[in-house]
Amino acid sequence: MPEAFILFKTQPSKERDVYFALDGHENVAELHVLYGEYDLLARVSAIDQKTLTSYLMHEFRLIEGVSDTQTLIAVDY
């Protein structure tokens, strides 16, 4: 099952709104609030790589209040 770690930057005072939008998503396995350059970290899993890409491109980046993302896709050896 493919996984990715997504770092989110949010618009000022939108951290909480983005957090709750992500927290309600069935494919978000973990969600953490951060201090520093990024505001949130989510671990996301999907049934296949195509579905994971769809979540990243068409859902998570479009959440109101998200200003930037950095995606780290996990791989197996």
pLDDT at position 75 is 87
CATH code of domain 3-73: 3.30.70.920
Summarised one tens digit per residue, pLDDT across range 14-58 is 999 999 999 989 999 999 999 999 999 999 999 998 999 998 899
Q: What is the CA radius of gyration of the chain?
A: 12
Statement: residue 77 has pLDDT above 90:
no
| Residue 10 CB contacts under 8 Å (≥ 6 apart), including other chains | 17, 18, 39, 40, 65, 66, 67
Residue reference for tokens 């770690």: 5
User: Does the model's pTM come out above 0.85?
Assistant: yes
Statement: residue 1 has pLDDT above 90:
no
Residue reference for tokens 């957090």: 19
Joined together, the tokens standing for residue 9 give 């930057």
